Amino acid sequence: MNNLKKNASALLLLITFFPGIAKTANITKKKHQMNDPITLFKQVNEKFASLKTVKYHYTREFNYPSEGYISKTEGEMYVEFAKEHDLAGMRFQYEDAQGFLIFNNAELFNGKKKTKTITVSNIKDQKNLEGNSPLYNSIVTLRNALPLIIKDESIQKSVKDTLIDHQSYHMLYFFLQDKLFTYLGSDFSKVTKKLTFRYQMIVDKSTLLPLTILQTTVNSQDLNRIDFKNIDTSPKVVAESSWFYSSYLNNYTIEAAKVPMVPIKAGEIAPDWELTNFANNNKETLAQYQGKIILLEFWIKNCGYCIEAVPKLNALNDAYRRKDFKLLAINTEDNRHNIGVFLDKHPANYSVVYGDDPSINKKYGIAGFPQVVLISKNGTVLYSGHLNIETLKQLINKNL
């Protein structure tokens, strides 16, 4: 005990007469904390959790050189976080040059400035909010995702500083393996390929609020970038009436609900069409292949599932190409150049036909991509729906 007292007294004397030692210790401790990724991640998380209301300018850019695809959108986002918004923990209003999108905790309505129309959807589950662009890697996403990142020890995390226009910012790194955040950030969505996604979040050192999020795929040049500008954590509260679509009906009208597309049914006669063969520019029709089992695949260029379908269809075509079977991939959405970009990267060993006749998709009831239709030798539909290789093989074998 006497030795402990002597050591404590000696340390007190050192600090008293050499205060630089204490200052150095504090600097070292602070430096250690900032180099510890969990510490900084938690500090940023606490900042997001403290937000009650936030407004910011949101810019989203998708740049996929591998697919020849670039898309950029931007607008003003306003979010209120409150417990009473129990469905998703928030409500938001977003406006850009094309219109506005408002979620009021019960309804999601979209106003289109050009047509002066509004579409209204009842939201009963937060999953119904997935796919809405202003939520992608947004402050809403980060607020929900950061606790998951911190808790999950399998997610690799690191921190460093970065200079932008001579100003120093924090850079938070984390990696997701074979999964992505949902738009709300409250869960993960699995991807069907083995992919590693790298996130770089640039954070202001004084406010701990985000400047930019860069999402890339390891070993790829594809980039998703989100920029946040003019972040206001104490914005003017919007009028309560602005949360209800009825307040907009003096200038907008309710758009009639669209009749959902119904896939063509088994037993129906497959409608004929005329399209251009990509390989030789010849005009082709469905009728010219009558007497064969025909598989039509409806696809578009910017579609991850369509990319994944190519090797499956190549294998299927290899298995049946020497029999009375014909596989035709139909694209009525993209131009010849973009189809060529796709096929250069994802070669297909089957026929690809294209054209600008959207009525073909309508006649076959194609609402998403890829979808397939299997047609018998006499021209009747055997199957329509998602690409299910085993089901298709069974039907092909049975009807050859």
pLDDT in tens, 316-375: 999 999 999 999 999 998 889 889 989 998 999 999 999 988 899 999 999 889 999 999
Number of structural domains the chain divides into: 2
Q: pLDDT digits over 194-212, tens only?
A: 899 999 999 999 999 999 9
Half-sphere exposure of 109 (CA within 13 A, CB side): 22
* pLDDT at residue 166 is higher than 60: yes
Give the confidence band of 3 by pLDDT, cuts at 50, 70, 90.
very low
Q: What is the pLDDT of residue 13?
A: 38
Indicate the pairing of strand 107-112 with strand 371-375.
Answer: unpaired
Residues 6 or more apart whose CB falls under 8 angstroms from that of 373 comprise: 263, 264, 270, 295, 296, 298, 364, 381, 383, 384
Residues 6 or more apart whose CB falls under 8 angstroms from that of 159 comprise: 34, 35, 36, 37, 40, 41, 170, 171, 172, 173
Q: What is the pLDDT of residue 400?
A: 92
Do 225 and 351 share a domain, yes or no?
A: no
Single out the residue in 190, 220, 254 at which a domain terminates: 254
Q: pLDDT digits over 266-316, tens only?
A: 999 999 999 999 999 999 999 999 999 999 999 998 787 898 899 999 999
Helix, strand, or coil here: 364? helix
Do 299 and 392 share a domain, yes or no?
A: yes
Do 245 and 352 share a domain, yes or no?
A: no
Q: What is the pLDDT of residue 35?
A: 57
Asked whether 153 and 188 are in contact (CB, 8 A), the reply is: no
Give the confidence band of 257 by pLDDT, cuts at 50, 70, 90.
low
In 125-204, DSSP assigns E strands to 157-164, 167-177, 179-181, 188-190, 196-204
Asked whether 111 and 100 are in contact (CB, 8 A), the reply is: yes
Task: Give me the numbers of helices (H) and strands (E) for the chain, helices first please.
Answer: 8, 21
Asked whether 183 and 130 are in contact (CB, 8 A), the reply is: yes
Do 245 and 311 share a domain, yes or no?
A: no
What residues make up the domain containing 343? 274-399
Average pLDDT for 219-244: 95
Q: Angle, nearest 10°, between helix axes 389-399 and 304-320?
A: 30
Q: What is the pLDDT of residue 23?
A: 41
Asked whether 350 and 314 are in contact (CB, 8 A), the reply is: yes
Helix, strand, or coil here: 314? helix
Do 105 and 157 share a domain, yes or no?
A: yes
Question: The domain that contains 112 carries what CATH number?
Answer: 2.50.20.10
Helix, strand, or coil here: 135? helix
Residue 364 in domain: yes
Q: What is the largest distance, in Å, between two alpha-carbon atoms of the chain?
A: 102
Q: How far is it, in rounded angstroms, from Cα 176 to Cα 149?
A: 9
Q: What is the pLDDT of residue 69?
A: 82
DSSP state letter for 270: P
Half-sphere exposure of 18 (CA within 13 A, CB side): 7
Q: Which residue has the higher pLDDT, 357 or 392?
A: 392
Q: What is the pLDDT of residue 344?
A: 92
Do 228 and 155 share a domain, yes or no?
A: yes
Alpha helices by DSSP H, the chain = 2-17, 19-35, 37-50, 139-151, 304-320, 336-345, 359-364, 389-399
Do 75 and 222 share a domain, yes or no?
A: yes
Residue 81 in domain: yes
Average pLDDT for 183-189: 92
Q: How far is it, in rounded angstroms, from Cα 400 to Cα 395?
A: 9
Sign of the CA dihedral running 130, 387, 382, 330: positive
Average pLDDT for 28-45: 72
Give the confidence band of 64 by pLDDT, cuts at 50, 70, 90.
confident
Asked whether 289 and 319 are in contact (CB, 8 A), the reply is: no
Average pLDDT for 226-233: 98
Do 109 and 163 share a domain, yes or no?
A: yes
Mean pLDDT of the chain: 89
Do 91 and 223 share a domain, yes or no?
A: yes
Residues 6 or more apart whose CB falls under 8 angstroms from that of 60 comprise: 72, 73, 74, 133, 136, 137, 224, 225, 226
* pLDDT at residue 24 is higher than 60: no
Q: Please tell me whether the peptide bond between 370 and the residue prior to it is cis, using omega within 30 degrees of 0.
A: yes
Sign of the CA dihedral running 49, 53, 59, 65: positive
